[in-house]
């Protein structure tokens, strides 16, 4: 008989910063179905490090919508806001490895820098999502200068020094992909993301750091999520290697798009699970709508 520890572990990990839509329904149902088919476990994780945008009402709506869809999950549910110490400890570890620096530029300052640079007809490097890479200025500050800036009360985030991190790994990284796009071992290119954020100025962690730590802490073996996070997997693989965490298998699924071909957003009422339920649709109708 299989024990709890050798069963595959799947998870659905929404952020309670809006109502769930059909894209979330596809992801949650796929995770649940794949866990069932594999005789595995299905976990729900609440990704709520952003205290400014996440609310208990949206969290309650997640439970309500998933329950209505017919899903059940293990208790207790892990909430990221209850594990901030764990993320801080990982940040300290990476700092002690010499891989982290305080980053003082605001999003607006980065934008202005890029605009000035590009006004000369030169192209600023961008990450796979199209955002400009963080300028290198803060990487090279002295310790004294860093302390002075922090002591002056300047808001700051913490970023990974990507080139130093890659020196430690010093070999090509890859991940195992079983999803809707390319399958097999996929070459991971974390450098394409530049100096990624590990701890935000307005939250004590970042998506990349907390997702990587939680998947390991919860023993997740299969990560099933949308193709919008495909390229970010490179960053997660790098953090796994740096922190000595196990490597899960990844399955990135197709995205549900609106009539204009855009990815669904949480503000979109018409494709919300709750709004479709209120219109009288049944859970099986939603399964059909997402193509399952």
Interface residues with ligand GLU (CB under 6 A) are 13-15, 47, 211, 225, 229
Decide whether 32 or 156 has the Cβ nearer to ligand GLU. Answer: 32
- Least Å from the CB of residue 208 to ligand GLU: 9
- Least Å from the CB of residue 217 to ligand GLU: 14
- Least Å from the CB of residue 3 to ligand GLU: 26
3-state class (DSSP) for residue 45: strand
Closest CA to 239 of 144, 129, 100, 118: 100
**Cβ-based neighbour number of residue 200 at 10 Å:** 18
In angstroms, the Cα distances linking 160 to 125, 206, 238 are: 17, 11, 11
Residues 225 and 253: beta-carbon distance below 8 Å:
yes
- Least Å from the CB of residue 82 to ligand GLU: 16
Decide whether 156 or 251 has the Cβ nearer to ligand GLU. Answer: 251
DSSP-derived pairing of the beta strands 78-79 and 41-46:
parallel
Decide whether 15 or 199 has the Cβ nearer to ligand GLU. Answer: 15
Distance of alpha carbon 262 from alpha carbon 275, whole angstroms:
19
Decide whether 114 or 160 has the Cβ nearer to ligand GLU. Answer: 160
């Amino acid at each position: 008989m299989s024990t709890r520890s050798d069963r595959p572990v799947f998870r659905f990990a929404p952020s309670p910063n809006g109502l769930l839509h059909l894209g979330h329904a596809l992801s949650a149902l796929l995770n649940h179905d794949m866990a069932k088919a594999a005789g595995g476990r299905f976990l729900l994780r609440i990704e709520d490090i952003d205290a400014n945008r996440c609310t208990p009402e949206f969290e309650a709506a997640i439970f309500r919508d998933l329950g209505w869809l017919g899903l059940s999950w293990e208790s207790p549910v892990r909430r990221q806001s209850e594990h901030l110490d764990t993320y801080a400890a990982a940040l300290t570890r990476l700092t002690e490895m010499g891989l982290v620096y305080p980053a003082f530029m605001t999003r607006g300052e980065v934008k202005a820098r890029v605009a000035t640079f590009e006004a000369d007809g030169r192209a600023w490097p961008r990450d796979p999502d199209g955002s400009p890479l963080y300028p290198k200025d803060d990487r090279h500050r002295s310790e004294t200068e860093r302390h002075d800036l922090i002591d002056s009360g300047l808001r700051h985030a913490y970023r990974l020094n990507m080139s130093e991190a890659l020196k430690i790994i010093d070999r090509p990284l890859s991940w195992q992909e079983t999803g809707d796009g390319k399958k097999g071992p996929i070459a991971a290119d974390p450098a394409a993301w530049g100096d990624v954020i590990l701890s935000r100025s307005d939250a004590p962690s970042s998506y990349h750091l907390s997702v990587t730590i939680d998947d390991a802490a919860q023993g997740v073996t299969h990560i099933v999520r949308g193709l919008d996070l495909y390229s970010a997997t490179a960053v997660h693989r790098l953090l796994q290697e740096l922190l000595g965490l196990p490597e899960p298998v990844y399955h990135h699924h197709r995205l549900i798009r609106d009539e204009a071909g855009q990815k669904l957003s949480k503000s979109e009422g018409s494709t919300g699970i709750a709004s479709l339920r209120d219109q009288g649709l049944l859970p099986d109708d939603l399964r059909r709508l997402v193509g399952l």
